């Protein structure tokens, strides 16, 4: 099986390359000129804002499966750069879909969206099913919802083999510090090295989110590529939300240093949703996947990463 990963220079890309390599795939992966990919694969430079380059690459590589990971992936940054977020996540995704339509070969596309797309839901709507109405509450979420809806249209109107993923929070070693587990672990590593006072800056601690280890996430992506049903939307997550406070306390408990925390208004989101927790029975039914790695292990791996860095 031949796979092409678009946007593999980011956090998830390396893990997905390794997962697919482990299962005998021929792996091709794209990155921006400013990035490098260290893992074993055939590397290509690609900017998804250039549609003709995508078509050329699809016709050259002729993969069986395409994973579209390229994105402006930060909710926080989407408040600051709404145009950029819409351009990359919506127009960029349309470019990928158009390229899929125009390419010589029929290929399966896995479009990576987000659990953020559900947005303001009633607490009693949890666990959230894929059929739940989308009510996105930030620019990133809107951009991902829009890309997913357009993907669905390409499946229906052009009969393209497309699977739409709504991935909930994921974490692990190597994730950028703007994501909460990485943020706390980096701060703890800095405190341990004496680079900062023993006080972690936090945002809203009562919000509950569903965290999955990145190794489990890429296993889900591989299985969806192999067994997912074309045109379907799949939630990918643990199915058990925990509070950010739990994440903070777990991370602090892994340190020998006595650490306190303080709320930083800069870290509070312009609008935050109390609980986001998915129903993950669809992916389990069709692929047998469920999250296996504990959240404590993910936090411990991430802390070790920052300690070494
Ligand atoms: O923004 P950068 O310089 O970190 O580059 C990101 C890259 N990217 C692009 N690739 C091709 N053409 C573009 N115009 C373009 N703009 C940005 O996509 C980055 O290397 C990659 C996405 O990786 P991360 O931001 O690290 O996201 P992660 O955590 O790997 O998540 C993968 C997917 C994304 O669609 C997320 O929105 C979703 O899973 O949760």
Confidence at residue 204, expressed as pLDDT on a 0 to 100 scale:
87
- φ/ψ of residue 104, rounded to 5: -70, -35
Of 60, 68, 63, the C-alpha closest to 95 is 68
Least confident range from 94-108, 255-269, 276-290: namely 255-269
Lowest mean pLDDT: which of 1-5, 123-127, 141-145? 123-127
Split at pLDDT 50, 70, 90, the class of 230 is: very high
Give ligand 1 pocket residues (Cβ under 6 A).
7, 9-13, 32, 35, 46-49, 69-73, 88, 92, 112, 114, 167
Tens digits of residue pLDDT in 42-74? 999 999 999 999 999 999 999 999 999 999 999
Does residue 259 carry a pLDDT above 70? yes
Is residue 203 predicted with pLDDT exceeding 90? no
Q: What is the pTM of this model?
A: 0.96
pLDDT digits (tens, 9 = 90+) for 292-302: 999 999 999 99
Phi and psi angles of residue 227, each rounded to the nearest 5 degrees, phi first: -125, -5
Q: Which residue's CA is minimally distant from atom 19 of ligand 1?
A: 10
- Cα of 274 from ligand 1 centre, angstroms: 26
**DSSP β-ladder status, 208-209 and 233-236:** unpaired
How far is Cα 22 from Cα 14, in angstroms, rounded to an integer?
12
Confidence of residue 170 (pLDDT cuts 50, 70, 90): very high
**Structural domains in the chain plus CATH codes:** 2-171+211-239+277-287 (3.40.50.720), 180-207+241-276+296-308 (3.90.25.10)
Mutate to test the pocket of ligand 1, among 8, 10, 57, 166 (most ligand atoms within 8 A of CB): 10
């Amino acid at each position: 099986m031949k796979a092409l990963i678009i946007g593999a220079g980011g956090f998830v890309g390396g893990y997905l390359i390794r997962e697919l390599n482990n299962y005998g795939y021929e792996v091709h992966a794209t990155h921006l000129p400013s990035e490098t990919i260290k893992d074993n694969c055939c590397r290509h430079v690609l900017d998804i804002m250039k549609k003709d380059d995508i078509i050329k690459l699809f016709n050259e590589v002729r993969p069986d499966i395409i994973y579209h990971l390229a994105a402006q992936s930060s909710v926080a940054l989407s408040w600051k750069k709404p145009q950029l977020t819409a351009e990359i996540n919506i127009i960029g995704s349309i470019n990928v879909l158009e390229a899929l339509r125009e390419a010589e070969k029929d290929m399966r596309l896995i479009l990576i969206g987000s659990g953020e797309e559900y947005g303001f839901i009633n607490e009693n709507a949890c666990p959230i099913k894929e059929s739940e109405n989308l009510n996105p509450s930030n620019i990133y979420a809107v951009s991902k919802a829009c890309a997913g809806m357009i993907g669905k249209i390409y499946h229906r109107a052009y009969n393209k083999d497309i699977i739409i993923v709504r991935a909930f929070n994921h974490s692990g070693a190597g994730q950028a510090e703007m994501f909460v587990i990485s943020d706390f672990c980096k701060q703890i590593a800095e405190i341990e090295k004496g680079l900062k006072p023993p006080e972690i800056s936090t945002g809203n601690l009562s919000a509950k989110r569903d965290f999955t280890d990145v190794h489990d996430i890429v296993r889900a992506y591989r299985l969806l590529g192999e067994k997912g049903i074309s045109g379907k939307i799949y939630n990918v997550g643990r199915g058990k939300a925990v509070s950010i406070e739990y994440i903070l306390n777990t991370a602090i408990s892994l340190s020998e240093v006595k650490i306190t925390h303080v709320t930083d208004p800069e870290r509070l989101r312009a609008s935050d949703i109390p609980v986001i927790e998915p129903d993950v029975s669809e992916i389990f039914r069709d692929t047998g996947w469920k999250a296996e790695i504990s959240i404590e292990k993910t936090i411990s791996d991430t802390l070790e990463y920052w300690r070494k860095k």
